Structure 1
Amino acid sequence: MKTLTKRFMTLLAGLTLALASLTPAQAADEGAKVVYHVDFNDPTRYSATLTSINNILNFYESELMEAEVHLVFVGYGLRFTTNDDLKGTPYEADKALLERREELKGRLQSLIKVRGVKVHLCDKTRDEVGLSKDKVYDGIQLTPSGVAKIAILQSEGFAYLKIQ
């Protein structure tokens, strides 16, 4: 009986160690990498994107997981990266954007500075309309091609998300 109990306890200890090595943080590390794509002009949809980023970061933190989140702006997304009204361009600021610009800018800056989100703007889009680099919000990195940046991140295991 003593030998049986000893074997059972050894098996139980081994099983406990094996299960402990499969913590949620380790099992999901590869899944804690996300890239969001913004190529649209709707401020409400963009606001939903910022909310989604905050929500996913909150979830990962609640699970004690490290997360890496990137946000890539392409085309119409340029509107959300500057205070310039982009007059005479396809991306010109409209009333809906002008009413929410400061709020959206503040939320983006908070994600960059407080939550560590890495933000990229397609330099091809910026250059296309002649927007000076110094008019792009602080904390936004320029990338030669936004879609290429997204493809590279996906090849590195980042999940692709785009709010509809």
Structure 2
Amino acid sequence: MRFIRLIIMTAVAFWVAAGDPVRAQDGYAAQKVIYHINLAGGDDGSAYKGALNNMRNHLEAVGKANIDLRVVMHGDGVGLLQAAKDNQQLQGLIVSLKNDGVRFLVCNNTLVGRDIDPEQDLFDVWPEDIVPSGVAEIAKLQLEGFVYIKP
């Protein structure tokens, strides 16, 4: 009986020492977040860099294992991936975020309405990245518990 109690106490001590696995180093709980991009970013895409840097800072603060981050783009926000097509700095920021699990979602209504070919006109967009409606996707994700951020 003592042996079993010792095992349980040791396991509890390790769990307490390790910390709650759903919390990041700085005490942030696991998060589900939507970044909403629907404004133009300037001819060179420079205005988008601030939003991408916000995402990077958010990821680093919470920890990539503790966050489900989605970027929903529609309207002029699709310009982020248009600008990245020929901008290596934007490409690097996007690829880095994707490598850390960030999903970039593109509104099909915008693609159709503006006659944008995702394969030819956008950087690194795949069929699974296209959602029927950007605003409907935001509402759906909010109903699933995602927090809305508009950089």
Deviation at 1:60, TM superposition (A): 1.4
Cα distance in 2 for residues equivalent to 1:40 and 1:159: 19
Cα distance in 1 for residues equivalent to 2:104 and 2:80: 11
Overall identity of the aligned pairs, in %: 28
SS of corresponding position for 1:36: strand
- Seen in structure 2, the aligned counterparts of structure 1 residues 116 and 65 have a Cα distance that, compared at 3 Å, is closer
Which digits, 9 at most, give the CA deviation of each residue in 1:32-91, with x for residues without a partner? 111000001123431111011101110112xx8521100011100111113599xxxxxx
How many matched pairs?
Answer: 129
Tell me what 2:77 maps to: 77
TM-score by length of 1: 0.67
- Seen in structure 2, the aligned counterparts of structure 1 residues 132 and 156 have a Cα distance that, compared at 3 Å, is same
Confirm or deny: 8 A CA contact 2:33 2:149 kept in the other structure: yes
Between structure 1 and structure 2, the one with the greater Rg is 1
Confirm or deny: 8 A CA contact 2:71 2:105 kept in the other structure: yes
Instruction: Kindly report the root-mean-square deviation, in angstroms, between the aligned alpha carbons of the 2 structures.
Output: 2.9
Tell me what 1:28 maps to: 29
Cα distance in 1 for residues equivalent to 2:56 and 2:22: 19
Tell me what 1:67 maps to: 67
SS of corresponding position for 2:66: coil
Deviation at 1:127, TM superposition (A): 0.8
Which digits, 9 at most, give the CA deviation of each residue in 1:71-116, with x for residues without a partner? 011100111113599xxxxxxxxxxxx7xx331122112211x211
Which digits, 9 at most, give the CA deviation of each residue in 1:10-44, with x for residues without a partner? xxx8xx88x94x83725823xx1110000011234
Tell me what 1:124 maps to: 109
Runs of 4+ in 1 over 3 A off after TM superposition: none
Confirm or deny: 8 A CA contact 2:105 2:130 kept in the other structure: yes
Cα distance in 1 for residues equivalent to 2:131 and 2:37: 14
- Seen in structure 2, the aligned counterparts of structure 1 residues 128 and 55 have a Cα distance that, compared at 3 Å, is same
Tell me what 2:123 maps to: 137
